[in-house]
Amino acid sequence: MRPLAALFAVGLICAAPAARADDPGSFTLDDAWEGHWRRIFDRRGRADSNGPLLQHLGPYQYPEYEMDLAASGFLLADEAKFAAAPASARLRVQSINEFTLAEETQLRARAGFGEAGFAALRLDRRSDRAFQSTLVTFSLGHDAIAGLPLFVRLDFFPRWEKEDSDLNLVVGARHADWGEVRLRLAALDPFIDASYALAEGRDLELSEHLDQQGAPLALAIELQSARFFGVRFELYGGRVLSAPLRVWHPESPDEDFRRDRSAWLGAGLVEWRPAEGPVTAGISVEAIRAQFSREGDADPTRDVAVDEASTRARGYVLAALPGPVRLEAAVQRTVEEGWLDNTIGAKAGEGGDVRWLSSARAIWMPSTVVGLEVGLMRSDRLLIGPPGEREGGSDHRLLTRCALQLGPKVHITFGIGWDLDPSDGRYDGGGLTLRLND
């Protein structure tokens, strides 16, 4: 952790004296929580669209993969502003090897009608080694039902395949002095039975039929408090209900099977900032436990059951020093585990990936247009495979990036990373981050 302390010292030395500190910013789990649901909604975005939700038991990524994604990641201090903006956009792009770019894009547009009605479009695209997802959301809602602080929103996720389209209903209440509470009811792949019933009614010859044998629903409650005595908190809890799906083939019944998925999701955040103070500090936790099963009608040796768990804990400090300097430091621990049974009672495989990611950044804006961002990152990793097999290591990186503030609505940072470990070359990839505020 010595490099992180050194970076803070550099920021203190570079800071120009001023009478007032700027806003240090605030973090929220809002987009991370929505990201977990997007992974559930977009099954085609996963490596195996017919497989488990998390898919931790696939090939592990290379050691610096998480560090590569974080190098051009969105700043924690800007998360709350982005979540609160009805119309905004952001993009991050990072080179991860000689031929590949990892990219994430989020676009939001919203138009009001009537007294408090609105229509909105949202695009969430992520393209990297673990995800290939493009999800469009069309929303209709009302922000003040009957003049009360109650709101409702209906989301539709259209997909090329009707069976992968989803619906999401959110109702809630918000109050400036207390915060916001939301209830979510999602219908996952609700058009499967209707699509196949229509095809069968038209006497279409299908090589595969799908039959929902349960209600494909998910539920969640989401709470975001206002700030009390400098402290605010967020709590999220969700459940993907078990809903077996039968897949049968008229010409090859030996390939028929039943598939089922279910999951528990939870997250929480506590953040503290003294009134008008220059520092924000917080901790957050996200956790998912998912189950998947596949049972063949004819060949039980092909049965499989997968149990997966993912936990991410984070501690962070955001600071705005007197003058044009912002600091951001975070420590994050991610644990991914998976257990696989390929026949009833026979353990076939298990795996785990434990990762620590520490980072510190200083953003110095000596002018209103051009500035400098400098960062240090450290990644520690332990892979856990079959009994007796473990592999781990540490990696370090220096970030140097140019920061551009093109008016109040356009912020761009771009630059390269430098490998601080013994290697054939110091260059360690480049990237760009863009944020547009309406």
Helix/strand/coil percentages in the chain, nearest 5: 15, 55, 30
Residue 72 CB burial class (10 angstroms; 0-12, 13-18, ≥19): buried
Q: Residue 7's pLDDT is what?
A: 39
Instruction: Report the share of the chain in percent with pLDDT over 90.
Output: 53
Instruction: Assess contact for 129 and 96: CB atoms under 8 A.
Output: yes
Question: What is the identity of the amino acid at 61?
Answer: Q
Domains and CATH numbers, the chain: 2-437 (2.40.160)
CB 285 within 8 A of CB 268: yes
Q: What is the pTM of this model?
A: 0.88
At 326, which amino acid appears? R
In sequence order, what are the residues at sequence separation of 6 or more whose Cβ sits closer than 8 angstroms to the Cβ of residue 147?
none
Q: Could you report the per-residue pLDDT of 197-240, keeping only the tens digit for each?
A: 888 788 788 878 788 888 899 999 999 999 999 999 999 999 99
pLDDT in tens, 281-318: 999 999 999 998 888 766 676 788 888 999 999 999 99
Range list of β-strands (E), 4-116: 88-95, 101-113
Give the pLDDT of residue 299. 67
The type of residue at 86 is P
* DSSP SS3 for 162: helix
Residues 420, 426, 432, CA angle at the centre, nearest 5°?
95
Query: What is d(CA 323, CA 15) in angstroms, rounded to the nearest whole number?
Result: 6
d(CA 380, CA 354): 8
CA atoms of 122 and 125, how far apart (whole Å)? 10
Q: Say yes or no to pLDDT of 17 above 50.
A: no
